[in-house]
Amino acid sequence: MAPSADSDRPIGILFICLGNICRSPMAEAVFSHIVAARGLASKFHIDSAGTARYHIGEQPDGRTISTCNKHGVAVDHFGQLLVSRHFAEFDYILCMDEDNLRDCKHVKPKGQSRAKHGMFGEYSEDKGDRVVTDPYYGGLKDFELMYERIVRCSEGLLKQLLQVEKTRLEGTGK
């Protein structure tokens, strides 16, 4: 991961899944919670989107909200679609699975793009976390497992960003 440009602008992180109601809004909420707990909220612009139009304008799945609330993590999101402008707006576009990554590459505009895109799970120290599986057809247990995986990935992402984006994060005391 190479550092992004514009040292005075918040670091833009966009999480991607299929419908933007389970995995990516949970990742948005958890990562936001973690950076706020570290006193870094003002240094980040965090959001999420989906690669399909199924749930545009809808709140996240109730199981996503209840799982986050159980852990003291607030969820404030309405579904949106990944669009080409996101590649200019965000520094990092992080996908939950290979299908999301493939779809993301199809949306990416031709030529230069500010955003680096890849798999969110690659930031976890647990190599079994590379894919954040979709719990939509499962139960609360699956959402809890997803939450635990997203926490590991979020902690790994922040650890990496603290090294790579050090200049943009200076002055935070972290």
| pLDDT tens-digit series, residues 96-118 | 999 999 999 999 999 878 899 99
pLDDT at 167: 87
Which member of 17, 68, 95, 153 is catalytic?
A: 17
Average pLDDT along the chain, 174 residues, taken 10 residues at a time = 69 98 98 98 98 97 98 98 97 98 95 91 94 97 98 98 90 46
Q: Is 17 a catalytic residue?
A: yes
Show the tokens assigned to 86.
Answer: 């996101």
Output phi, psi for 42, to 5 deg: -70, -15
Q: Is 3 exposed, middle or buried (0-12, 13-18, 19+ CB in 10 A)?
A: middle
Q: Is 134 a catalytic residue?
A: yes
Burial 140-166 (b: 16+ CB within 10 A, else e): eebbeebbebbbbbbbbbbeebeebbe
Q: Which residue has the tokens 């909220």?
A: 41
Which member of 23, 63, 149, 168 is catalytic?
A: 23
pLDDT at 113: 85
3 state SS of 13: strand
Which member of 47, 61, 103, 134 is catalytic?
A: 134
pLDDT at 171: 55
